[in-house]
Structure 1
């Protein structure tokens, strides 16, 4: 389903999800109706999952980003931790890992006091055996929609 034209359409949408089909059609040399049909097919196939807005956390008062590694005593605690993480408004990302720690959380919040409270909340979840927190000093790259760099 991903050919060169679809990849070009996705690049246009990644740059600006509000890009008009007519503008995309000029860039990819297809009719507007063909562009719309390709977008609909990619939506139906789950390639395009959603359209969203990117918010600068600092502009809305969330000046602190931290990465927290979390270990569980036993896999039986997985579901409870995941349920809490999904509901927590300050956890932007959660990744299940191999290695020393079981999860890596990206936490975005407004202060170290808030991060301390989040840390206490996570540590109090039954089964959490260890955490390790890293403060992000500067984000060098933050891509939200990755595309293949080439097609075979």
Structure 2
């Protein structure tokens, strides 16, 4: 299967949408010197091919006392890594899951309001998952840069309580 690629024009269109996905196709077209139809069709193609998804995101800088929690997970056996990553990705409060090289096998990122909430979350949602050998947390306390093009982080106050 051939890997889908974004060309230079696709990247310029995405850059126009990066800071505000509500930017009109007409405005992007004018800035790039192309037609509105070209922008529209390119965006439609990228969405259809699964290269991009346009969505609303929480602005973590506007949340009340947000704490970005990096949850490092060591897996019992390497054969469990993929399944455990899928299970973590299915947890609504987790905005990022990645397989890692180094001391830990997985990294999950979530947003919490305080240490007690993080401890409860770890015990309730992470530690009991089959294959979790141990976890270690790092807390982000000062946001220097959060590029919304990188990921979507959903805060716990947006959770509808379903588990």
- Specify the TM-score bucket, using the shorter chain as the normaliser: 0.7 to 0.9
Q: Give 1:131's aligned residue.
A: 135
Q: Give 2:153's aligned residue.
A: none
> Root-mean-square deviation (CA), in Å?
2.2
Partner residue of 1:87 out of 83, 87, 90: 90
Partner residue of 2:68 out of 65, 69, 76: 65
Q: Give 2:42's aligned residue.
A: 38
1:130-149 equivalences in 2 (<5 Å): 130-145=134-149
Q: Does the Cα contact within 8 Å between 1:90 and 1:109 map onto a contact in 2?
A: no
Q: Give 1:9's aligned residue.
A: 13
Q: Secondary structure at the match of 2:85?
A: helix
Following TM superposition, by how much is the alpha carbon of 1:101 offset from its aligned partner in structure 2, in angstroms? 0.6
Q: Secondary structure at the match of 1:82?
A: helix
Question: How many aligned positions are there?
Answer: 145
- Cα distance change of structure 1 residues 39 and 83 upon mapping to structure 2, 3 Å threshold: closer
Larger Rg belongs to: 1
Scaled by the length of structure 1, the TM-score of the pair is: 0.81
Following TM superposition, by how much is the alpha carbon of 1:124 offset from its aligned partner in structure 2, in angstroms? 2.2
Following TM superposition, by how much is the alpha carbon of 1:56 offset from its aligned partner in structure 2, in angstroms? 2.2
1:110 maps onto 2:113 in alignment: yes
CA–CA separation in structure 2 for the residues paired with 1:4 and 1:77: 39
Q: Secondary structure at the match of 2:109?
A: strand
Unaligned runs of 5+ in 2: 151-163
Deviations 1:96-119 (A, max 9, x none): 112221101112122211100112
CA–CA separation in structure 2 for the residues paired with 1:125 and 1:62: 28
Unaligned runs of 5+ in 1: 147-152
- Higher alpha-carbon deviation: 68-77 or 81-90: 81-90
CA–CA separation in structure 1 for the residues paired with 2:63 and 2:143: 17
CA–CA separation in structure 2 for the residues paired with 1:47 and 1:127: 32
